[in-house]
Structure 1
Amino acid sequence: IYVDNIRDALIKYDPANAQTYQRNADTYKAKITQTLAPLRKQITELPENQRWMVTSEGAFSYLARDLGLKELYLWPINADQQGTPQQVRKVVDIVKKNHIPAVFSESTISDKPARQVARETGAHYGGVLYVDSLSTENGQVPTYIDLLKVTTSTLV
């Protein structure tokens, strides 16, 4: 949707280059699809009861939805309280009940609550996911495609 919105805005203000914007948008959307394809395939091979995305912050709703995963998180996006004992206990109980194999955290917050859930449940701490923060040009995720690649490889 974002790619289409950007394309449409550029075409609105520069209609003479509409074909270029359309071609570039199509190419970029194909890169996104290609980047996510291995993850989608691996998810379809999982039993449905193991298709979970457990994170600290509820920042991956779009990705969980697009990949057909059930989402579980310790706290909602921009919550006043993060990683409270009540939040951790609730997620620990659900992870145990559903035998969820892995827990993740986000790059912009502490990984301590997610690691605590993993410790208390025996789930694997899967690592850091990047949600809304790119790195510097020489960092791990300088572009959105890089962000998707790192997130995909971490989830897999």
Structure 2
Amino acid sequence: MKIERHRWGGILLSVLLLAACASPRPAAPVRRLRVVTTVAPLTNLVYNVGGDRIDLHGLIPEGVDSHTFEPAPEDAQYLAQADLIVLNGLNLETSIERLALANKKPEAVLLKLGDMLLSREEWIFDFSFPPEKGDPNPHVWMDPIYARGYVERIRDALVRMDPANRTYYEQNAAVLLAELDRLDRAIREAIMTIPPSNRKLLTYHDSWAYFARRYGMTVIGAIQPSDFREPSAREVAALIEQIRREKVPAIFGSEVFPSKVLEQIGRETGARYIDTLRDDTLPGEPGSPEHSYLHMMVENVRTIVTALGGRADALQEVDIRNIPDRSRP
């Protein structure tokens, strides 16, 4: 009897051991790529490709001047933990780049999209970014075709670093690239409705240089000089004279940075002053599908075109929602 008990006890122990080995082990949590970016439009382009497969953090808060932004000490922690750091480049974020190089992991990838995309021959120097300072105008993302090049490089980096989610990244990028093509066509059509003599831009900040070159507009000036101070009385007088001479119907300010100088110029010239343009702040509520680069560009172009005497009907064809959010109710 004792032998039988021993035999059954051994069999039972063997069965329990086999069952334990056969039971599936809890799956290890999947660690998403940690991606750090800078200005809001760039952060949004990365989000549109990476969606919920990445942990994304934008360093520069919306409404903060990206040219004068200085990273806080705690920003070094985000950069130290990042797998991928995405900068605009073209000397826009030099202080962030220095902090990144001093703190990033050896294996972390740093992308400077503008430097990757534009040759030196494509750089633009202008009123706010004079050639003697050596820093080209960095607002490349205001040209949707250059933004398209940014998306392609973001997609390629994510696929290379996270091949398990390749299909997801490529599908998101394909939809976004098609939408950017649609945006480009709509902008061209809308700009063509502006009387040729009105296709002139005077803005608060020189962020429209690449856009203007793409779509056949002329930037006749910017209020904010290269050192980001207020313009001198002589500079203001020259702009007033130019606006009167060229009969510019509207001048454009920033929603984030109101300008008393532009208000004065509008009063003295009779040009309509509109202060709702954006270049690194997105419309819509943060977290909403409409808080997007696409929405920013559509609203900007609609404002410019209608103020200069054109029609913006073509822009209705552009879906302004973020790609990862389009399937949500």
Same fold (TM over 0.5): yes
Aligned residues: 154
Match status 1:144 vs 2:144: no
SS in 1 for 2:223: strand
The root-mean-square deviation of aligned C-alpha atoms, in Å, is 2.4
Tell me if structure 2 keeps the 8 A contact 1:36–1:152: no
- In the other structure, the counterpart of 2:243 is 95
User: Which residues in structure 2 correspond to 1:1-156 (within 5 Å)?
Assistant: 1-71=149-219, 72-76=221-225, 79-134=227-282, 136-137=285-286, 142-156=291-305
For residues 26-78 of structure 1, give each alpha carbon's deviation from its aligned partner in whole angstroms, at most 9, with x where no partner exists.
Answer: 2112223334544321212334332112101112222222222111212345x
Pairwise CA distance, 1:18 = 3.2
AA matched with 2:304: L
RCO comparison, higher one (Cα < 8 Å, 6+): 1
Partner Cα distance (2:152, 2:205) in 1:
27
Pairwise CA distance, 1:91 = 1.6
SS in 2 for 1:45: coil
Pairwise CA distance, 1:151 = 0.9
Partner Cα distance (1:18, 1:63) in 2:
31
Partner Cα distance (1:80, 1:131) in 2:
16
SS in 2 for 1:133: coil
Pairwise CA distance, 1:145 = 1.5
- Per the normalisation by structure 2, the TM-score is 0.42
SS in 2 for 1:82: coil
Partner Cα distance (2:178, 2:264) in 1:
38
Alpha-carbon spacing, 1:81–1:56, altered in 2? closer, same or farther (3 Å)? same
Higher fraction of helix:
1
- Per the normalisation by structure 1, the TM-score is 0.82
Partner Cα distance (1:124, 1:155) in 2:
11
